[in-house]
Structure 1
Amino acid sequence: MARLSDTQTAFGAVTKLAHWLTALTVFGMIGLGLYMADLPLGAAKLELYGLHKSIGVVVLVVTLARFGWRSRQPGPGALPSHVAWEHLLAKATHLALYACLIGLPLTGWIASSAAGFPVSVFGLFTLPNLVGPDPSLQKGAAAIHSWMAWAMMGLIGLHILGALKHHVVDKDETLRRMAPHGAKSASPFL
């Protein structure tokens, strides 16, 4: 049976599930964001923006829950084979990813509020506007949201490259520790 909690040597099922669901959701959000941005204004675009906002709220809530979980689950530390610069780069990348996971939904919410478009979450409830209508604030928040999305893509690339470096070059347990199955695999990829 899968262990739910983290230990000093392994990530538990809750941490792994949160990691991989967040990753899949963010990949989908990036694709959706790029696709909907180029659509002409109309019902389809507005519907996709509504979906994008709803999923963004879910990402924000899950990220905040992850912070709560991590405060009680220190998780495994760096492997002894990791050198100081790798550990520092991994920490910085993770912090920047978390900043984007919080900053992207918040800047989107601010941009929506400033544009006078409330954030409805899957039609179930509507979030309060964070600010009043303000075209210049909307433009600024949207620009920050866009730049942060591009930064997130770069950080994801760096994160993936780091995991692959540890797996393929170093042949250590870094990637396997976060793999869904959690055990050594016969596969050369996991």
Structure 2
Amino acid sequence: MSLRNTAGRWGGVSQLLHWTVAVLILSIGAIGLVMGELPRSPKYFWVYTLHKSLGLTVLALVLARIAWRLYAGAPQPVPGTPRWQAWLAAAVHLLLYLLALAMPLTGWLYDSASGLRPFRWFGLAEVPKLAAPDEALAGIAQRLHVTLFWLLVALVAVHVGAALYHHLFRRDATLARMLPRGWLSVPDDEVSR
């Protein structure tokens, strides 16, 4: 498997970053949905710190993914993809990158403006505050964080739906080229790409 992206498929580094960020975002979303229901106990604070630590990890990984994509490029659209679908896919990818950056930043801003005690990323390093305590700013950041989460959920659903549509109905290599070779069958003319 090539580490760099080629004209026909995503390379190993892009695949690893893609699936790692996807799993982390799903985990963070699940944690975020349940942590508000937890009683205020030491477990609550541990879960809250985990949510924030994973969020900052996603921020770093998305920045790494963007840098890698700028360096390694991106595959061409699958042959036969209509121009409007290629444009729409590019727009959705851009929005996914922006939301994957904005989500942790708004969460970090909310944490900072809330005036909570400093938190340590996975207990290892203290995370600096982005703003002084400000109740109004904390409220705005929290509402924005929640709104962006639901927008991200909707865009991920579109992204996953499009990948499944291409695999199940168009029967092209769109999904297969984001997976290691051989995980999904693809038409013979696209295997060699």
TM-score (norm 2): 0.91
**1:145 paired residue number:** 145
Amino acid at match of 1:106: L
**1:17 paired residue number:** 16
**2:133 paired residue number:** 133
Amino acid at match of 1:136: A
Unaligned runs of 5+ in 1: none
In structure 2, do the counterparts of structure 1 residues 63 and 184 end up closer, same or farther at CA, with 3 Å as the change threshold?
closer
**2:182 paired residue number:** 183
Alignment of 1:46-65 (within 5 A): 46-65=45-64
SS of the residue 1:136 aligns to: helix
Amino acid at match of 2:62: T
Paired with 1:150 and 1:123, the residues of 2 have a C-alpha distance of: 29
TM-score (norm 1): 0.93
Aligned-pair CA distance for 1:184 = 6.3
**1:113 paired residue number:** 112
Amino acid at match of 1:81: G
Q: Residue 102 in 1 paired to residue 101 in 2?
A: yes
**1:123 paired residue number:** 123
- Contact preservation (8 Å) 1:8, 1:75: yes
Aligned-pair CA distance for 1:43 = 2.2
- Contact preservation (8 Å) 2:176, 2:185: no
**1:89 paired residue number:** 88
**1:161 paired residue number:** 161
SS of the residue 1:129 aligns to: coil
Aligned-pair CA distance for 1:41 = 2.8
Aligned-pair CA distance for 1:182 = 2.0
- Contact preservation (8 Å) 1:109, 1:119: no
% identical equivalent positions? 36
CA RMSD of aligned residues (A): 1.4
Deviations 1:102-122 (A, max 9, x none): 001100010000011233201
Q: Which range is displaced more, 56-65 or 85-94?
A: 85-94
Q: Which range is displaced more, 34-43 or 138-147?
A: 34-43
Paired with 1:10 and 1:80, the residues of 2 have a C-alpha distance of: 12
Paired with 2:173 and 2:59, the residues of 1 have a C-alpha distance of: 29
Amino acid at match of 1:116: G
